[in-house]
Each structure stands twice: as C-alpha cells, then as structure tokens.
Amino acid sequence: MTDNAIVTLRKLYKRFPAGKGTFTALKDINLTFGKGEFSGIVGPSGSGKTTLLNIIGSLDTPSEGTATVLGKKINDLSQKEAAALRNVGIGFIFQTYNLLPVYTVYENVEFALLLQKTGQPFRWRMPARGHLDRIIYLKDGAVDKDELC
C-alpha cells in the first residue's frame, strides 16, 4: 500500500454461482484510490460497479485477489470488524439510499455518528451539517432548507 492509498485492489476477482457453472463479475481488477482523490466508477448495467463497491465497502469479499481499505484486508475481516470499518472508516451512499423516513435529512446524516457510541457524537454535528448544506446548494436552492431540520 502506498502512503496515500485509501483503497488498493490487486488481482481482484469475484465469481458467483450460475447454473452449473460460475459467472465472473470482476476479473483481474487492479486499482488504487488515494487520499484526497475524487474518482468515479462508471459502466453499463451489469458491468460489476455495485459488486466492486460492495467489496470496497466490506459488504462482500473477493473470490480471489486482495482488497485493502485503510490498511485492512477485506478478505481477512470478521463480520464484526467489517461492520466497524463501515461504521467508522469508509462510507458511501447506495443507489437506493434507504434513508430512515422518521428522521430529517440532517438526522440521517448524523445517525452514523450516534452508532459509533463515542460519547461525543455531536462534536461533528456542525461540520456534518456544513457538508450537507454544500450538497443541497448544488441543487441551486431547489430544496427548502426548512424541510430538512
């Protein structure tokens, strides 16, 4: 892993059972995502984007090769360790984002901090809201901020 690598994928394969054989969703993937980089994963439906993100997000493991996220090999993590990595280390928003409907947008953003049980979840409240404000204003005021809190 290089000094600034957040995610390193080497010779990564993911296979799924399919009928009497297997379907290879990912084949020989070699990627590095560095700290501070902005990257996009694009491709047609069925090309393996979600499978790749599920491995990076420790929701799944590769069939072959290594996936390292924040210095931890996804292949070697227990379910508890994988959950801890998702809770504290890395996160992403799914295509179907499944917000908690009883919470406002702000409360949904803060929810992960509450799950960390650090005793100080609200010290990040204002920075989290600041990031959310920037995202909302990218929509050029299309969202009524009063509906968010």
For residue 130, the enclosing domain spans: 105-147
Asked if residues 24 and 64 have their Cβ atoms less than 8 Å apart, the reply is: no
50 & 13 share domain: yes
Q: Where are the beta strands (DSSP E) in the chain?
A: 5-18, 21-34, 64-69, 72-73
14 & 83 share domain: yes
Percent of the chain with pLDDT over 90: 40
Asked if residues 95 and 44 have their Cβ atoms less than 8 Å apart, the reply is: no
Q: What is the mean pLDDT of the chain?
A: 79
Judge whether 99 lies within some domain.
no
Neighbours of 129 (CB within 10 A): 16
Q: What's the pLDDT score for residue 135? A: 54
68 & 35 share domain: yes
Q: What's the pLDDT score for residue 149? A: 46
109 & 62 share domain: no
Asked if residues 99 and 108 have their Cβ atoms less than 8 Å apart, the reply is: yes
Q: What's the pLDDT score for residue 8? A: 96
**pLDDT at 5 exceeding the cut of 50:** yes
80 & 112 share domain: no
Judge whether 98 lies within some domain.
no
**pLDDT at 55 exceeding the cut of 50:** yes
**pLDDT at 119 exceeding the cut of 90:** no
Interatomic CA distance for residues 105 and 128, integer angstroms? 11
26 & 50 share domain: yes
Q: How do residues 31-51 score in pLDDT, each as one tens digit?
A: 999 988 888 888 998 899 999
Q: How do residues 95-116 score in pLDDT, each as one tens digit?
A: 677 778 888 777 777 776 677 6
Judge whether 100 lies within some domain.
no
Asked if residues 70 and 90 have their Cβ atoms less than 8 Å apart, the reply is: yes
Q: How do residues 81-94 score in pLDDT, each as one tens digit?
A: 988 888 777 766 66
83 & 114 share domain: no
Higher pLDDT, 86 or 77: 77
111 & 84 share domain: no
Q: What's the pLDDT score for residue 65? A: 97
Judge whether 97 lies within some domain.
no
Q: In what order do the strands lie in the sheet with 72-73?
A: 21-34, 5-18, 64-69, 72-73
Asked if residues 10 and 65 have their Cβ atoms less than 8 Å apart, the reply is: yes
Interatomic CA distance for residues 145 and 102, integer angstroms? 17
CATH assignment of the domain containing 51? 3.40.50.300
Q: What's the pLDDT score for residue 1? A: 45
